[in-house]
Amino acid sequence: MSSIGELRAGEAALLVDNKGRRYLVNLDPEKQYHSHAGFVPFSQIIGQPEGVQVATTKGQKFRVFRPTMNDYVLQMKRGAQVIYPKDIAAILMMADVYPGCRVFETGVGSGAMSMALLRAGAIVTGYEVREDFLARAQKNVEGFLGAGVFERYQVHVADAYEGIELGRDGLEEDTPLFDRFVLDLPEPWQVIAHAPKALRPGGIIVAYTPSITQAQQVRRALNNGMYDEVSTTEVLYRTWHIEGQAVRPDHRMVGHTAFLTRGRLVGPSLEKPQPADTDLDAAAEPLDAPGGNL
């Protein structure tokens, strides 16, 4: 879906009022946006350039833009809880997602992570246990990226803990193996157990876990001598208030969301795997330099 030119019928748009409140709408030429201050017919918006200002019948003004992915993810309808955009951005970098990269993603949830992977050019195979969530994810992805993206987006109602079927979704042409695993489900270590058969050597796994005890379990799963470049990161994101002489961090920020644990499949090691109970000793080691593995 092209995101340049005049605003078109059928596409998503964002109405922003003078208090910065944001409303995600679909530009249906037969419909209007309604608020307590009257309405604006979408036909007045269609054909206008982005950034146009429109007013409701009672004078409430809005600027109209195409939604950014950040806007869309935060405003779209959800089945499952989405990955927050600050973490999505970090995951793309930690997993080193590139155009044509074959990603195994589970759980698909509301499709927020899928959207970012697809927009980065990845070919995504997704597993999601809940059919209703999968349908919601497909709608969300199509709403933002258009139906053409389904050429690169194959999702299945499947339990990822049970295993990963290879040779489907057109991946068998060269190798059935995936380049990346992106995991956001309660027990990612159960999926990591299948990685040696489904992820290519050098492939990267990133697991998103709200709780540190889950991150610890992921670290144990990656501590079998088959993974290198293992790290766990938390992304802290703070905006600033800058107005005249008042220059300070905003009072509110998104507090904790999740831990991002990454590992790279390197195949069998020459060294003996460390026993799991030495994991905590590793915490005393110096941290990676900022920007190292993100």
Ligand X SMILES: C[S@@+](CC[C@H](N)C(=O)[O-])C[C@H]1O[C@@H](n2cnc3c(N)ncnc32)[C@H](O)[C@@H]1O
Binding site for ligand X (CB under 6 A): 80-83, 106-107, 109-113, 127-130, 133, 159-161, 184-186
Residue 53 or 81 with smaller CB distance to ligand X: 81
Q: How far is the CB of 116 from ligand X (least distance, A)?
A: 8
Smallest distance from ligand X to CB 256, Å: 15
Using the minimum distance from each CB to ligand X, give the nearer residue, 188 or 203.
Answer: 188
Cβ closest to ligand X, residue 107 vs residue 203 = 107
- Report DSSP letters for 228-257, one per residue: EEEEEE---B--EEEETTEEEE-S--B---
For residue 64, give the DSSP letter. Answer: E
Q: Would you say 111 or 203 has its CB closer to ligand X?
A: 111
Least distance CB 148 / ligand X (angstroms): 21
Kindly state the smallest distance separating residue 168's Cβ from ligand X, in Å. 16
Angle, alpha carbons 226-231-237 (nearest 5°): 155
For ligand X, the closer CB: 106 or 232: 106
Q: Nearest Cα to 181, choosing from 110, 259, 119, 260?
A: 260
Q: Which residue is nearest to ligand X (CB)?
A: 107
The phi and psi torsions of 196 (rounded to 5 degrees) equal: -55, -25
Residue that is written with structure tokens 């109209």 in the block: 64
CB of 32 to ligand X, least distance (A): 30
Cα distances (Å, whole numbers) of residue 16 to 50, 52, 78, 199: 12, 11, 21, 43
Q: What CA–CA distance (Å, rounded) separates 37 from 35? A: 5
Give me the amino acid identity at 88.
I
